[in-house]
A and B are shown apart, each in its own frame.
Chain A
Amino acid sequence: MTNELSKPNKGVFDAVVFANKQIRQRFYRVGLEFSGDGAAAFAKAKAGQFAELDLSCIALPPIEGIAEDLRDAAERKILLRRPFSFCDVSSRREKTRVDILYCAVGPATLRMTTLSAGNSVNVIGPLGNGFQMPAGKKMALLVSGGMGAGPLIHLAKTLATDYPDVEVIAFAGAKAKTELPFEKPLDEISQQLGFSLHEFARYGVESEVATDDGSVGYEGLITDCFSKWLGQRSLSAKDTIIYSCGPEEMLARMAKIAEDKRIDCQVSMERRMACGIGVCQSCAVECRVEGSSETIYKLCCEDGPVFDSREIVFKL
Chain B
Amino acid sequence: MTETVDISVDFAGVRLANPVFTASGTCGYADELADFTNLNQLGGFITKSITAKPRMGNDTPRVVETDSGMLNAIGLANIGLDAFIQEKLPIIAKLTVPVFVNVAGETIDDYVAVVQRLATERAIAGFELNISCPNVAKGGISFGTEPTQVSEITSAVKKAAGEKILMVKLSPCVTDISVIARAAVEAGADALSLINTFTAMVIDIETRKPVLANRTGGLSGPAIKPIAVYLVNKVYNEVAKERGIPILGLGGIRTASDAIEFIIAGASAVAVGTANFVEPNCTIKIVDGLKRYCLSHNVTSIKELIGCLG
Whether A282 pairs with B65 at a CB distance below 8 angstroms is: no
A272 with B64, Cβ < 8 A, contacts A2-B38, A4-B94, A279-B277 known: yes
Alpha-carbon separation in the docked complex, A274 to B65 (Å): 8
The smallest C-beta distance from B207 to any residue of chain A, in angstroms, reads: 14
A155 within 8 A of B: no
Whether B280 pairs with A1 at a CB distance below 8 angstroms is: no
Whether B34 pairs with A6 at a CB distance below 8 angstroms is: yes
A275 within 8 A of B: yes
B225 within 8 A of A: no
The stretch among A7-15, A163-171, A216-224 that forms the contact with chain B is A7-15
B199-236 Cβ-contact flags toward A at 8 Å (1 or 0): 00000000000000000000001100000000000000
For B70, the chain A residues whose CB sits under 8 A away are 79-80, 274
Most B Cβ at <10 Å: residue of A77, A81, A278, A282 = A282
Alpha-carbon separation in the docked complex, A279 to B45 (Å): 14
Interface range, A side: 35 or more
Alpha-carbon separation in the docked complex, A56 to B70 (Å): 14
| Candidates A12, A77, A281; contact of B57 at CB < 8 Å | A281
A79 with B35, Cβ < 8 A, contacts A274-B277, A282-B62 known: no
Whether A7 pairs with B35 at a CB distance below 8 angstroms is: yes
A296 within 8 A of B: yes
| Candidates A54, A279, A296, A315; contact of B33 at CB < 8 Å | A279
A79 with B28, Cβ < 8 A, contacts A2-B34, A277-B36, A279-B33 known: no
For A12, the chain B residues whose CB sits under 8 A away are 36, 279-281
B95 within 8 A of A: yes
Closest to B22 in A: A279
For B62, the chain A residues whose CB sits under 8 A away are 272, 281-284
Alpha-carbon separation in the docked complex, A56 to B67 (Å): 11
Alpha-carbon separation in the docked complex, A280 to B64 (Å): 12
Closest to A107 in B: B65
A228 within 8 A of B: no
The smallest C-beta distance from A37 to any residue of chain B, in angstroms, reads: 12
For B28, the chain A residues whose CB sits under 8 A away are 278-279
Whether A282 pairs with B34 at a CB distance below 8 angstroms is: no
A263-279 Cβ-contact flags toward B at 8 Å (1 or 0): 00000000111110111
A124 within 8 A of B: yes
A76 within 8 A of B: yes
B83 within 8 A of A: no
The smallest C-beta distance from A252 to any residue of chain B, in angstroms, reads: 15
B244 within 8 A of A: no
A277 with B68, Cβ < 8 A, contacts A1-B38, A282-B63, A284-B62 known: no
Whether B32 pairs with A278 at a CB distance below 8 angstroms is: yes
B283 within 8 A of A: no
Alpha-carbon separation in the docked complex, A107 to B277 (Å): 18
The smallest C-beta distance from A151 to any residue of chain B, in angstroms, reads: 21
Whether B278 pairs with A56 at a CB distance below 8 angstroms is: yes
A58 within 8 A of B: no
Closest to B68 in A: A77
The smallest C-beta distance from B201 to any residue of chain A, in angstroms, reads: 16
For A78, the chain B residues whose CB sits under 8 A away are 65
A11 with B61, Cβ < 8 A, contacts A77-B68, A79-B274, A278-B28 known: no
For A275, the chain B residues whose CB sits under 8 A away are 26, 276-277, 280
The smallest C-beta distance from B54 to any residue of chain A, in angstroms, reads: 9
Alpha-carbon separation in the docked complex, A271 to B64 (Å): 11
| Candidates A7, A54, A283, A297; contact of B56 at CB < 8 Å | A297
25 contacts between A and B (CB under 8 A): A1-B34, A5-B34, A5-B91, A12-B280, A54-B278, A79-B68, A79-B274, A80-B277, A124-B36, A272-B60, A273-B63, A275-B280, A279-B26, A279-B28, A279-B33, A280-B25, A280-B26, A280-B63, A280-B277, A281-B74, A282-B62, A282-B74, A284-B57, A284-B77, A297-B77
Inter-chain pairs besides A1-B95, A10-B35, A283-B62, 17 sampled, C-beta below 8 Å: A5-B91, A12-B279, A77-B67, A79-B68, A124-B280, A271-B60, A274-B274, A275-B277, A277-B32, A279-B27, A279-B277, A281-B77, A282-B62, A284-B62, A285-B60, A297-B77, A315-B60
Which B residues fall within an 8 A CB radius of A?
25-28, 31-40, 48, 56-57, 59-65, 67-70, 72, 74, 77, 91, 94-96, 221-222, 274, 276-281
